[in-house]
A and B are shown apart, each in its own frame.
Chain A
Amino acid sequence: MTEKQSITGFNVDLSCDLICEKCEKFFDCELPTKKADFFVGRMAQARETLKDIKHKIIIVGGKGGVGKTLLTANFATALAMQGRRVAILDQVFDGPCIPRMMGVDGKGIQLDGEKLEPVEALLGIMVVSMGLILDEDEAVTWFGDMKRNATEEFLTSVNYGKRDYLIVDVPAGTSADTTNVLRYIPDLDGALIITVPSDVSQGVAHKAAVLCQKAKIDVYGVVENLSGFTCPECGEKVDILQAGGGKYLADKLGIPFLGGIPMDRRVAESADEGVPFVYKYPEWEGSRVIHRVAKDIDKKLFGVTEKNF
């Protein structure tokens, strides 16, 4: 009986047709023929459309359900509360939640000549999302190139206008969805990693962070969501999802741990209601963490003294 061989990998097809523009393996590609310069076609158009946006930040988390969209909505709102002009680009095609969280679900994206007009939410925040195009009951099977086309559409045909910030929400995982965004959006300033305390989530969050580093994006730090729960009846602090995952991940990646957002009824309530909790409950512990992160990043990128809100 021959010794059994362990399966340690699958043969990944590296067949290359030199169409770098469409290639999902872009960041992993080490072929000498790789075209790193994209000044033709849609990519150049994207560059043109986004030229009046000063800073672009992407929110990643790897694991599903950790709060990427929630952080995107609240981080964007925190920046807007400091007087910045913000736009949110929702790159989640499967069940986009940004419209709901920003209180604009049900509104539609208008067409102005050739350009799509984003929808305005609170504090002048501009929102672009597939959720503003598809109906509630429209279940679409998203195939790879449809997603890529939609990404292209959102990047080349939207009239963002002059913005200080574009905050980008991407789907969970480290698939082509995320790499497409990293590839198509020129000069992403930085990324924020969001995770939860449990061990189980750290693997994917780590992958997401490493992907950003591979794409040469400044990873600002780790925010831990669902970070403990305080019983409203007796005040007991309970770690429903274990403890320490966020700090552990930050240490492992060598980046700052930016703080924890506790589990709280206010979070789910604000998401369902469509009013970000940093706006509705600015004094709450979780809101303070996000306001502080927004202040620090704003100071870093704009280098001016803080504005009071």
Chain B
Amino acid sequence: MEKVVEIDKLKKGIKELQIDMNCTFHCEACEKFFKCKSPEKLKIFERRRMARVLKVMSGIDHKVAICAGKGGVGKSLFTTNFSAVIAQRGKKVAVLDQDLDGPCIPKMLGLTKEKMVMGDNGIVPVEGIFGMKVVSLGFVATETEIVNWFQEKRRNATEEFLSHVDYGKLDFLNIDLPPGTSSDAVNLMEYIPDLDGMVVVTNPTRISQIVARRATIMAIEAGVNVLGIVENMSGFVCPRCGKEVDVMEKGGGKMLAGQLEVPYLGHIPLDPRSSECSDKGVPYVVMYPDSPASKATVTIVDQILVNIEAFRKEKAAAKA
């Protein structure tokens, strides 16, 4: 009995946020800002940058966050192709690459040699295919530089990318969140209170759901609308014999959607052409529009758009 009590105390100790410890009143840079209940916080911090973020975001119609929980499931690749689909349809789209450790979106769009410039109204994003605007740390730090983005700088970087970028008027801002449920992802959700929703990308294995599950729960707890779950790397069609095989046993994503009662958006099969495209720097929906992966992606994108509209209607009705 005693042992059980001790473990609970240990758990509590590890989980509980002891805000007074380590507080140096640098609220502007503090990653715990949104969770902090210290009375000092409100006195010190002037919401200059926050107000700026809200102003910048107000010029953007739709804001979608894409997360994964587990790394390497294809979140960035999905974000890139999702954005390409709507940009190709004539929408004004920007992609914000919030992966501060391994930003690979510039590479996936063939923009590694570009740099962002400082304009009159803020940082000017790099322009990619179909006029897509891209903001990423990948444009700032070269591949071989060690960029140890320490906690306080992460929040600052997030704010920089939200408040000081000249996005202009946009139809869509798609935000590629870093994997996991760390403060990076959570802070972002808090910054943009009118997010249209979050898409969760996962892969078929049961083990990937361990992480996707937590990320989804975190979003639900933060009051973010979950637009649905995408199961990537789901099935493979052999280019020689044409048979469909499962490299990983299917169904983990669908199962998770059912368990957490969020929409299941569909699955995208494995295709060597997808990796070829991402290394080459062209979205696969553009280079191979008829491949099963591209077709699946377009179907999923359309479903996301439907879910966004449904959510907006619901919100409007609730207000009335």
Contacts and interface: CB of A to CB of B under 8 A. Distances in A.
Interface of A: 4-10, 12-13, 24-25, 27-28, 62-66, 94-95, 97, 100-101, 108-111, 116, 130-131, 133-134, 136-146, 149-150, 153, 171-176, 179, 196, 198-204, 206-207, 210-211, 214, 229, 231-234, 236, 238-242, 263-265, 268-269, 271-272
Contacts of B102: 62-64, 172-173, 201, 203-204
A66 to B, nearest CB: 6
Interface string B1-24: 001001100110011010001100
Contact of A229 (B71, B139, B147, B236): B236
B275 A241 contact: yes
Contacts of A109: 7
A202 B152 CA distance: 27
B241 A236 contact: yes
20 contacts: A4-B118, A5-B118, A8-B115, A10-B140, A24-B151, A63-B72, A94-B180, A109-B7, A133-B14, A137-B213, A139-B221, A150-B14, A175-B150, A176-B148, A179-B148, A198-B275, A200-B278, A240-B271, A242-B275, A265-B248
A175 B221 CA distance: 26
B180 A95 contact: yes
Given A5-B118, A7-B140, A63-B72, 19 more contacts: A4-B119, A12-B150, A65-B72, A66-B71, A94-B179, A95-B180, A95-B210, A100-B207, A133-B11, A134-B15, A140-B181, A144-B150, A171-B180, A202-B143, A204-B102, A204-B104, A210-B144, A232-B245, A236-B238
Given A65-B71, A136-B210, A207-B144, A142 B181 contact: yes
A229 B247 contact: yes
Contact count band on B: 35 or more
Interface of B: 3, 6-7, 10-11, 14-15, 17, 21-22, 29, 31-32, 35, 69-73, 100-102, 104, 107-108, 115-119, 123-124, 139-141, 143-153, 157, 160, 178-183, 186, 204-207, 210-211, 213-215, 217-218, 221, 236, 238-241, 243, 245-249, 270-272, 275-276, 278-279
B249 A174 contact: no
Contacts of B139: 7
Interface centre among B151, B178, B207, B248 (most CB of A within 10 A): B207
Interface centre among B147, B148, B205 (most CB of A within 10 A): B148
B220 to A, nearest CB: 9
Contact of A214 (B146, B150, B236): B146
Contact of A176 (B118, B150, B204, B221): B150
Nearest to A245: B279
